[in-house]
Structure 1
Amino acid sequence: MLRPEVTIERLHAGQEGKLPGHYGLRVTAVAQGRVDAELEIQPWMHAPNGFLHAATVILLADTAAGYASFAHLPDGAKGFTTIELKSNFLGTAKEGTIRTECVAEHLGRNTQVWSASVFGPEGRRMALFRCTQMVLW
Protein backbone atom coordinates (compact mmCIF):
# COMPACT_ATOMS: atom_id res chain seq x y z
CA MET A 1 0.00 0.00 0.00
CA LEU A 2 1.31 3.44 -0.91
CA ARG A 3 2.38 5.46 2.12
CA PRO A 4 0.67 8.89 1.79
CA GLU A 5 3.51 10.76 3.52
CA VAL A 6 5.92 9.86 0.70
CA THR A 7 5.68 12.76 -1.73
CA ILE A 8 7.78 13.93 -4.65
CA GLU A 9 8.94 16.87 -2.54
CA ARG A 10 10.02 14.60 0.32
CA LEU A 11 11.96 12.35 -2.05
CA HIS A 12 13.70 15.34 -3.64
CA ALA A 13 14.61 16.79 -0.24
CA GLY A 14 16.13 13.45 0.82
CA GLN A 15 18.43 13.26 -2.19
CA GLU A 16 20.09 16.65 -1.62
CA GLY A 17 23.83 16.10 -1.28
CA LYS A 18 23.44 12.43 -2.28
CA LEU A 19 24.24 10.69 -5.58
CA PRO A 20 20.76 11.07 -7.15
CA GLY A 21 20.84 14.78 -6.28
CA HIS A 22 24.24 15.22 -7.94
CA TYR A 23 22.81 13.64 -11.08
CA GLY A 24 19.81 15.97 -11.03
CA LEU A 25 17.31 13.13 -10.83
CA ARG A 26 13.70 14.33 -10.78
CA VAL A 27 10.81 12.18 -9.61
CA THR A 28 7.81 12.90 -11.83
CA ALA A 29 5.18 10.59 -10.33
CA VAL A 30 4.52 8.58 -7.17
CA ALA A 31 1.39 6.42 -7.31
CA GLN A 32 0.15 3.04 -6.10
CA GLY A 33 2.60 0.47 -7.45
CA ARG A 34 4.61 2.99 -9.46
CA VAL A 35 7.33 5.66 -9.44
CA ASP A 36 8.48 7.58 -12.53
CA ALA A 37 11.65 9.68 -12.74
CA GLU A 38 13.93 11.41 -15.24
CA LEU A 39 17.28 13.11 -15.62
CA GLU A 40 18.99 15.34 -18.15
CA ILE A 41 22.12 13.82 -19.71
CA GLN A 42 25.26 15.88 -19.07
CA PRO A 43 28.61 15.38 -20.88
CA TRP A 44 30.29 14.24 -17.64
CA MET A 45 27.87 11.28 -17.59
CA HIS A 46 29.44 9.86 -20.78
CA ALA A 47 31.70 6.84 -20.90
CA PRO A 48 35.07 7.23 -22.66
CA ASN A 49 33.39 6.09 -25.92
CA GLY A 50 31.28 9.28 -25.93
CA PHE A 51 27.95 7.60 -25.15
CA LEU A 52 25.97 7.60 -21.92
CA HIS A 53 27.67 5.52 -19.22
CA ALA A 54 25.64 2.47 -18.19
CA ALA A 55 25.96 3.54 -14.55
CA THR A 56 23.80 6.59 -15.25
CA VAL A 57 21.00 4.40 -16.63
CA ILE A 58 21.28 2.10 -13.62
CA LEU A 59 21.28 5.08 -11.24
CA LEU A 60 18.00 6.31 -12.73
CA ALA A 61 16.24 2.92 -12.65
CA ASP A 62 17.66 1.80 -9.30
CA THR A 63 16.80 5.09 -7.59
CA ALA A 64 13.24 4.90 -8.89
CA ALA A 65 12.98 1.33 -7.58
CA GLY A 66 14.41 2.39 -4.22
CA TYR A 67 12.01 5.30 -3.92
CA ALA A 68 9.16 2.98 -4.91
CA SER A 69 10.19 0.49 -2.21
CA PHE A 70 10.35 3.26 0.38
CA ALA A 71 6.92 4.52 -0.67
CA HIS A 72 5.42 1.03 -0.38
CA LEU A 73 7.00 -0.30 2.82
CA PRO A 74 4.58 -2.34 4.94
CA ASP A 75 3.46 -0.83 8.25
CA GLY A 76 6.14 -1.32 10.88
CA ALA A 77 9.01 -1.96 8.44
CA LYS A 78 12.24 -0.09 9.21
CA GLY A 79 13.59 0.07 5.67
CA PHE A 80 14.78 -2.08 2.78
CA THR A 81 17.94 -3.18 1.01
CA THR A 82 18.60 -4.33 -2.53
CA ILE A 83 19.35 -8.04 -2.80
CA GLU A 84 19.47 -8.33 -6.60
CA LEU A 85 19.36 -6.12 -9.67
CA LYS A 86 19.66 -6.78 -13.37
CA SER A 87 19.85 -4.54 -16.42
CA ASN A 88 19.51 -5.19 -20.13
CA PHE A 89 20.69 -2.37 -22.37
CA LEU A 90 18.91 -1.97 -25.69
CA GLY A 91 20.28 1.40 -26.82
CA THR A 92 22.06 4.53 -25.68
CA ALA A 93 22.03 8.31 -25.97
CA LYS A 94 24.44 11.26 -25.92
CA GLU A 95 22.15 14.11 -24.89
CA GLY A 96 18.61 14.94 -23.86
CA THR A 97 16.36 13.62 -21.11
CA ILE A 98 16.06 9.96 -20.19
CA ARG A 99 13.15 8.75 -18.11
CA THR A 100 12.06 5.62 -16.29
CA GLU A 101 8.74 4.03 -15.47
CA CYS A 102 9.09 1.73 -12.47
CA VAL A 103 6.23 -0.63 -11.61
CA ALA A 104 5.63 -3.17 -8.86
CA GLU A 105 5.74 -6.83 -9.80
CA HIS A 106 5.49 -8.11 -6.21
CA LEU A 107 4.77 -6.24 -2.96
CA GLY A 108 5.21 -8.84 -0.25
CA ARG A 109 5.82 -8.61 3.48
CA ASN A 110 9.49 -9.60 3.16
CA THR A 111 10.38 -8.82 -0.45
CA GLN A 112 9.41 -6.45 -3.22
CA VAL A 113 10.20 -6.83 -6.93
CA TRP A 114 10.23 -3.79 -9.22
CA SER A 115 10.57 -3.61 -13.01
CA ALA A 116 11.63 -0.46 -14.80
CA SER A 117 11.85 0.55 -18.42
CA VAL A 118 14.23 3.37 -19.28
CA PHE A 119 13.39 5.49 -22.32
CA GLY A 120 15.73 7.65 -24.36
CA PRO A 121 15.18 11.21 -25.55
CA GLU A 122 13.15 10.05 -28.57
CA GLY A 123 10.92 7.85 -26.41
CA ARG A 124 12.48 4.54 -27.49
CA ARG A 125 13.12 1.96 -24.79
CA MET A 126 16.84 1.90 -24.07
CA ALA A 127 17.02 -0.42 -21.04
CA LEU A 128 15.08 -2.95 -18.99
CA PHE A 129 15.75 -3.22 -15.28
CA ARG A 130 14.58 -5.52 -12.49
CA CYS A 131 15.29 -5.07 -8.79
CA THR A 132 14.50 -7.25 -5.78
CA GLN A 133 14.35 -5.54 -2.39
CA MET A 134 14.37 -7.19 1.03
CA VAL A 135 12.12 -5.48 3.59
CA LEU A 136 13.94 -4.81 6.88
CA TRP A 137 12.07 -5.22 10.15
Structure 2
Amino acid sequence: MLQKVLSEKIPIWQNEIRTLINEKGDKIISNVTVTQAYGGMRGIKGLTCETSAVSEDKGLIIRGYPLLDITHISPEEVFYLLLTGDLPNADAIADIQSQFRANHQVPDYIWNLLKAMPENSHPMTMLTTAIQSMQ
Protein backbone atom coordinates (compact mmCIF):
# COMPACT_ATOMS: atom_id res chain seq x y z
CA MET A 1 0.00 0.00 0.00
CA LEU A 2 2.77 2.47 0.95
CA GLN A 3 4.70 1.67 -2.22
CA LYS A 4 1.59 2.38 -4.30
CA VAL A 5 1.04 5.74 -2.59
CA LEU A 6 4.68 6.72 -3.06
CA SER A 7 4.72 5.56 -6.69
CA GLU A 8 1.86 7.99 -7.31
CA LYS A 9 3.28 10.90 -5.29
CA ILE A 10 6.96 10.80 -6.25
CA PRO A 11 6.47 11.69 -9.95
CA ILE A 12 4.30 14.65 -8.90
CA TRP A 13 6.95 15.85 -6.44
CA GLN A 14 9.68 15.40 -9.05
CA ASN A 15 7.70 17.48 -11.54
CA GLU A 16 7.11 20.21 -8.93
CA ILE A 17 10.86 20.36 -8.22
CA ARG A 18 11.74 20.50 -11.94
CA THR A 19 9.22 23.31 -12.43
CA LEU A 20 10.60 25.23 -9.45
CA ILE A 21 14.17 24.87 -10.70
CA ASN A 22 13.19 25.92 -14.22
CA GLU A 23 11.24 28.95 -13.03
CA LYS A 24 13.35 30.09 -10.07
CA GLY A 25 16.71 28.36 -10.55
CA ASP A 26 18.69 31.60 -10.61
CA LYS A 27 17.12 33.14 -7.49
CA ILE A 28 19.31 33.68 -4.40
CA ILE A 29 18.18 31.80 -1.30
CA SER A 30 20.61 33.05 1.34
CA ASN A 31 23.65 35.19 2.03
CA VAL A 32 26.28 33.41 4.12
CA THR A 33 29.04 34.79 6.33
CA VAL A 34 32.36 33.07 6.95
CA THR A 35 31.41 32.75 10.63
CA GLN A 36 28.23 30.88 9.68
CA ALA A 37 30.11 28.56 7.34
CA TYR A 38 32.58 27.67 10.08
CA GLY A 39 29.95 27.64 12.81
CA GLY A 40 28.10 24.53 11.70
CA MET A 41 25.90 26.23 9.09
CA ARG A 42 23.57 27.62 11.77
CA GLY A 43 20.98 29.99 10.37
CA ILE A 44 21.86 29.23 6.77
CA LYS A 45 19.14 28.32 4.31
CA GLY A 46 21.20 25.87 2.32
CA LEU A 47 18.84 23.08 1.34
CA THR A 48 15.19 22.25 1.16
CA CYS A 49 13.48 19.90 3.58
CA GLU A 50 10.01 18.64 2.78
CA THR A 51 9.60 16.65 5.98
CA SER A 52 10.13 19.18 8.74
CA ALA A 53 10.90 22.74 9.76
CA VAL A 54 11.39 24.63 12.98
CA SER A 55 9.22 27.67 13.56
CA GLU A 56 10.06 30.24 16.24
CA ASP A 57 6.45 30.37 17.42
CA LYS A 58 5.22 26.81 16.68
CA GLY A 59 8.38 24.77 17.27
CA LEU A 60 8.97 21.62 15.23
CA ILE A 61 6.62 21.25 12.25
CA ILE A 62 6.37 17.79 10.68
CA ARG A 63 4.85 17.83 7.19
CA GLY A 64 2.74 20.84 8.11
CA TYR A 65 1.67 19.54 11.53
CA PRO A 66 3.03 21.20 14.68
CA LEU A 67 4.61 18.46 16.81
CA LEU A 68 2.36 19.25 19.76
CA ASP A 69 -0.68 18.53 17.55
CA ILE A 70 0.47 14.99 16.69
CA THR A 71 1.97 13.69 19.93
CA HIS A 72 -0.90 11.20 20.19
CA ILE A 73 -0.16 9.36 16.93
CA SER A 74 1.80 6.11 16.70
CA PRO A 75 5.36 5.75 15.36
CA GLU A 76 3.91 4.03 12.29
CA GLU A 77 1.70 7.03 11.63
CA VAL A 78 4.67 9.40 11.98
CA PHE A 79 6.66 7.22 9.56
CA TYR A 80 3.84 7.30 7.00
CA LEU A 81 3.38 11.05 7.47
CA LEU A 82 7.09 11.70 6.94
CA LEU A 83 7.17 9.61 3.76
CA THR A 84 3.90 10.69 2.16
CA GLY A 85 2.86 13.99 3.70
CA ASP A 86 -0.47 12.46 4.73
CA LEU A 87 -1.78 10.80 7.87
CA PRO A 88 -2.53 7.13 7.19
CA ASN A 89 -5.86 5.38 7.39
CA ALA A 90 -6.32 2.14 9.36
CA ASP A 91 -5.44 -0.08 6.37
CA ALA A 92 -2.19 1.80 5.76
CA ILE A 93 -1.24 1.52 9.44
CA ALA A 94 -1.90 -2.23 9.40
CA ASP A 95 0.19 -2.59 6.22
CA ILE A 96 3.13 -0.71 7.73
CA GLN A 97 2.92 -2.71 10.96
CA SER A 98 2.93 -5.92 8.93
CA GLN A 99 6.00 -4.80 6.97
CA PHE A 100 7.79 -3.77 10.16
CA ARG A 101 7.06 -7.16 11.76
CA ALA A 102 8.35 -8.98 8.68
CA ASN A 103 11.57 -6.95 8.55
CA HIS A 104 12.35 -6.13 12.17
CA GLN A 105 15.32 -8.47 12.61
CA VAL A 106 18.74 -6.78 12.44
CA PRO A 107 21.13 -9.07 10.51
CA ASP A 108 23.99 -10.56 12.55
CA TYR A 109 26.61 -8.99 10.28
CA ILE A 110 25.33 -5.54 11.30
CA TRP A 111 25.73 -6.33 15.01
CA ASN A 112 29.25 -7.61 14.28
CA LEU A 113 30.05 -4.45 12.35
CA LEU A 114 28.84 -2.23 15.19
CA LYS A 115 30.78 -4.25 17.78
CA ALA A 116 33.93 -3.86 15.67
CA MET A 117 33.68 -0.07 15.66
CA PRO A 118 35.72 1.93 18.20
CA GLU A 119 33.99 2.29 21.56
CA ASN A 120 34.02 6.07 21.29
CA SER A 121 32.25 6.09 17.90
CA HIS A 122 29.58 8.73 17.58
CA PRO A 123 26.07 7.19 17.64
CA MET A 124 25.14 8.90 14.37
CA THR A 125 28.26 7.46 12.72
CA MET A 126 27.24 4.03 13.93
CA LEU A 127 23.67 4.47 12.70
CA THR A 128 24.68 5.65 9.23
CA THR A 129 27.32 2.90 8.93
CA ALA A 130 24.75 0.25 9.83
CA ILE A 131 22.10 1.59 7.47
CA GLN A 132 24.50 2.01 4.56
CA SER A 133 25.82 -1.51 5.12
CA MET A 134 22.33 -2.93 4.61
CA GLN A 135 21.82 -1.36 1.18
TM bracket (short chain): under 0.3
Q: Which has the higher contact order (CA 8 A, sep 6+)?
A: 1
More strand as a share of residues: 1
Q: Tell me the TM-score normalized by structure 1.
A: 0.22
Task: Tell me which structure has the larger Cα radius of gyration.
Answer: 2
More helix as a share of residues: 2
